[in-house]
Amino acid sequence: MPGLAFLRIPEDDDSIAILVRTLFQTWRACLPPDATTDCWKVFAGREAYSDDNPPLRLSDRVGGMGASDDDLLFIEVPTDHIVSLLLKGEQVKHLLESLKWKEPERLCRSTRRNWPYQGASEIAKKLKRSLVNNYKAWKENNHDGHCRALNVILSGAGTGKSRMLDNMKSLLCGAAKLSKDEDLMARMESAYVFRITFADGPEQDSQLIDDIYGDLDISYRMIYQLYKHKREVAWPLFVSKLKGVYSKTVFFIEEVLVLLAKLEQIDKLQDMTVLLCVDGLDRLHHDGIKQSSKYLRVMNAIISFLNASKAFVVCACASRLASPFHEVQMVFRQRCTYLVPPTLNGDEILSPRTRIEQILVEDMGGHGRALEALDAALRSFRDEGTATPSPMDIIKRVCERLQVEYADLFKSPLLTSRTICQEVVAAILYRQQLIFSESIGEKGMTVDELLGVGFFRLSRETHGHLSCAFILLELLMSKLGKTGDMMEYLTRSVLGWQDFTHFVASYRVKKSTVFNAGPISLAAFHAGARFGPIDGICVKEARS
């Protein structure tokens, strides 16, 4: 005997087909994963159903049916669908008992998480417009992805993506304050924040929980944040337990908000503001725009949630690699606000005490992870009671720390292939104009791959000239140079700042080492220099 669902429907439904499709989407998370509407039947009232009359056709108009208790529509669905709905109610009640609202843990777990956040005002200014437009579209019930912006942080390893996500609420509060919209300001101040990661952390497993629903990889992590016993139950065990107990339940992201509303005793989702921060998207397998792409499925879930949620939602995502995101973004055509972590002022963080420390702070290029490695190296000398370590000892220890912090960089072809190393250094010294998807050299790494390993920057978001921290340039040059002692080479270079003429000479040596394959133009060899009539003297380059 099939189960029955008694439902009221709005008067403006156009057809039975639209009604069935709408109900299926509403109940989809409660139904078995393989459920379809093929066996669903709609009857015009109790008598029509009781007398075994034929069901309404999908093309029939709903009209005024279902407008009152005396004119209910009866929807017949398979028994296992109803059982699934009933079980869902009891299971959710049990699940709620194990959950409570908790502020999320920080994504950045290193010592730099406590550093003063730099560049907040500039980021807030950039966020202001998209935040205001998102809020306007949400209030107008506009679900168009062109009207709701996804905040995207694309930057290499150790540049501050996780810290930006950790500070996203305060940055958005700053943006709301700039808008002078008091309602928006109040919403952002009271926003519920979820922070999840596919990179470092307890739930770093990049294997998808489900092969169909990308939502689960977000929603399970959100539920894990709310789980009372999170510290006692490891992430893999939590996933196994949740999948076992709720094997026929698909928790869509929106459903987590329903759970949270029940926990916080909020009557309507429309009264909630939620900030979802997702880190480490680059750890997901990307297979182009094929259905097998984990990256594609998770991004689809995030974008769908952003555009369709009943609550006011702001989403921010971070990735080391830009290429997969831009490829997926071309599919969804979602509006995005691109954010770049600020270049850090190392002096404000480390307070160097000696000239050599000052030089090394500058040589880190404002990269957070590099500054952290330098700080750890300097502290280790102080802990050992070494008041004035030699420059060579300092540099050696800094390089040791950098090899730990930038393991992917030191394992990459950049430092294992002399040819690729030379091509990259040439592109930097030449100030070659590049796009993020372009390969450097014939068989070199792409710009995106270089940015991903850290220590590199592109002068603009998607194109421009490549730059790197000075200490990395010296490490690369040591691979190309004739010297056999890298530490001595680096020490001479650092101390060379004391004598500008020595620096100019060493810089020319670098260029001669890199551009040794054949003739090269003056404009390339002296990138950035101005050539033309100077005091009546004109330099003309030979043209082939």
Q: Are 277 and 149 part of one and the same domain?
A: yes
Q: Are 139 and 287 part of one and the same domain?
A: yes
Cα(494)–Cα(475) distance, integer angstroms:
12
Q: Are 305 and 378 part of one and the same domain?
A: no
Q: Is residue 170 part of a domain?
A: yes
pLDDT for 524: 57
Cβ(111)–Cβ(202) below 8 Å: no
Q: Is residue 234 part of a domain?
A: no
Q: Are 184 and 330 part of one and the same domain?
A: yes
Q: Are 184 and 273 part of one and the same domain?
A: yes
The CATH number of the domain holding residue 183 is 3.40.50
Contacts of 532 (CB under 8 A, 6+ apart): 538, 539
Cα separation values, 215 from 13, 288, 361, 396, Å? 28, 19, 43, 46
**Position 166: which residue type?**
D
Give me the number of domains the chain comprises.
Answer: 4
Q: Is residue 228 part of a domain?
A: no
Q: Is residue 504 part of a domain?
A: yes
Cβ(307)–Cβ(148) below 8 Å: yes
Q: Is residue 7 part of a domain?
A: no
Q: Which position has the token pair 């459903």?
A: 255
Q: Are 314 and 445 part of one and the same domain?
A: no
Q: Are 286 and 152 part of one and the same domain?
A: yes
Q: Which residue, 458, 221, 453, 438, is CA-closest to 338?
A: 458
Pairing of strands 73-77, 3-7: antiparallel
Cβ(454)–Cβ(474) below 8 Å: no
| Domain boundary residue, one of 339, 359, 384 | 339
Q: Are 180 and 313 part of one and the same domain?
A: yes
Provide the residue range defining the domain that includes 272: 121-203+254-339
Q: Are 331 and 384 part of one and the same domain?
A: no
- pLDDT per residue as tens, the chain (544 positions): 333 344 444 445 467 787 777 777 666 655 666 677 777 788 777 666 666 678 887 777 776 665 555 566 777 776 555 545 544 666 778 889 999 999 999 999 888 888 989 999 999 999 999 999 999 999 998 988 888 999 999 988 888 999 999 999 999 999 999 999 999 999 999 999 999 999 865 555 556 677 777 888 999 999 999 999 988 999 989 998 888 887 767 788 998 998 999 999 999 999 999 999 999 998 888 777 666 678 888 998 999 999 989 999 999 999 998 888 888 888 888 999 999 999 899 888 888 888 778 888 888 888 888 888 888 888 898 888 887 787 778 878 888 888 888 888 888 888 888 888 888 888 888 788 888 888 887 767 888 888 888 888 888 777 888 888 888 887 887 777 654 444 554 555 555 544 555 555 565 666 666 666 555 565 555 555 554 554 555 555 445 4
Q: Are 400 and 458 part of one and the same domain?
A: no
pTM listed for this prediction:
0.76
Local structure of residue 498 (DSSP, 8 states): G
Give the relative orientation of helices 470-480 and 500-514 as an angle to the nearest 10 degrees.
Answer: 50
| Domain boundary residue, one of 339, 371, 397 | 339
For the record, the structure tokens of 305 come out as: 């949630």
**Position 473: which residue type?**
L
Q: Is residue 230 part of a domain?
A: no
Query: Across the beta sheet with 192-197, what order do the strands follow?
Result: 192-197, 273-279, 312-319, 150-154, 336-339
Q: Is residue 210 part of a domain?
A: no
Angle at 126 between CA 120 and CA 132, to 5 degrees: 115
| Domain boundary residue, one of 411, 436, 459 | 411
pLDDT for 429: 80
Q: Which residue, 446, 426, 438, is CA-closest to 524?
A: 426
Q: Is residue 162 part of a domain?
A: yes
Q: Are 300 and 391 part of one and the same domain?
A: no
Q: Are 59 and 171 part of one and the same domain?
A: no
pLDDT for 204: 55
Residues in the chain: 544
Cβ(326)–Cβ(463) below 8 Å: no
